[in-house]
Amino acid sequence: MNLKQMVGIEAAKYVKDGMTVGLGTGSTAYFMVEEIGRRVKEENLNIVGVTTSKATEKQALSLGIPLKSIDEVDFVDLTIDGADEISEDYQGTKGGGAALLFEKIVATYSKEVIWIVDESKMVKHLGAFPLPVEVIPYGSDQLLRKFTAKELNPKIRLTEDGNPLLTDSKNYIIDLYLEDISAPQELAVWLDHQVGVVEHGLFLDMVTRVIIGTSTEGVKTIN
Ligand code: 5RP
């Protein structure tokens, strides 16, 4: 079993009967959704899922997990999702899979948020992984110029055929190649104030538990 599968299965243990569960996106979250699907089928686990992307929605439906949208529930009991980087003070970046907008919305209305990662995602400071910013296509070149002027090293994320990648909400992703994010709160506030920015991948003070897959010590849980 690989580390992503180990943490996915471990996180699914926190899902209890009657819960509304936020289902994250990505190659690690994939294993958690598979395990929840298995429990729904084999253990008659009774939950409602709230998905964070079209890809996860498709997977959850194929597994027979009952779903509602975020607007059809009062709140989410628990969201389980992956992350691109987690710093020593448990701030995170997300959006490598371009699902950051729904991921942040679902996390915002969740009582508990678990991140599942392999040890490679645990870093001293955020920033080595490019920080995704979801933007409205109209005016995106202006934003690119603004980000360049602020020395944020922006690049529009492209598909294999060279066109701008479209998110589930038909927006673009601008990745910021920052190397080191020395002041995440400050950067988050600045990005929040830029017209045309829909959301960014800084997930600050959002996580309540981190489950890490390590090659030497197995699964470690930090509450
Ligand atoms: C998608 C995300 C993912 O959770 C993040 O990119 C981690 O993905 P993976 O588990 O595949 O490394 O934020 O938008």
- Give the model confidence (pLDDT) of 144-160 as tens digits: 999 999 999 999 999 99
Nearest atom in ligand 1 to 132's CA: 14
The residue with tokens 């090659």 is 215
Reading the block at residue 119, the tokens are 């040890």
Determine if ligand 1 sits within 6 Å of the CB of residue 92: no
Helical packing angle, 27-42 and 54-62, nearest 10°: 30
How far apart CA 141 and CA 81 sit, in angstroms, is 31
191, 133 Cβ separation under 8 angstroms? yes
Q: Provide mean pLDDT across the span 92-116.
A: 98
Determine if ligand 1 sits within 6 Å of the CB of residue 134: no
Nearest atom in ligand 1 to 26's CA: 11
If you measure from the C-alpha of residue 197 to the centroid of ligand 1, how many angstroms do you get, rounded to a whole number?
20
164, 98 Cβ separation under 8 angstroms? no
Identify the sign of the CA torsion 126, 127, 129, 130: positive
How far apart CA 28 and CA 179 sit, in angstroms, is 24
Nearest CA to ligand 1 atom 8: 26
Q: Provide mean pLDDT across the span 5-9.
A: 97
Q: Provide mean pLDDT across the span 186-206.
A: 98
The DSSP annotation for 76-111 comes to EEEEEE--SEE-TTS-EE--TTS-HHHHHHHHHTEE
If you measure from the C-alpha of residue 117 to the centroid of ligand 1, how many angstroms do you get, rounded to a whole number?
9
> Does the interface predicted TM-score (ipTM) exceed 0.90?
yes
How far apart CA 204 and CA 58 sit, in angstroms, is 28
Reading the block at residue 76, the tokens are 């989410």
**pTM for the full model?**
0.97
What distance lies between CA 80 and its chain's CA centroid?
Answer: 9
Determine if ligand 1 sits within 6 Å of the CB of residue 82: yes
Higher pLDDT, 28 or 1: 28
User: pLDDT at residue 1 above 90?
Assistant: no
Give the model's confidence band at 73: pLDDT under 50 very low, under 70 low, under 90 confident, else very high.
very high
If you measure from the C-alpha of residue 196 to the centroid of ligand 1, how many angstroms do you get, rounded to a whole number?
23
Nearest atom in ligand 1 to 117's CA: 10
Catalytic residues: 103
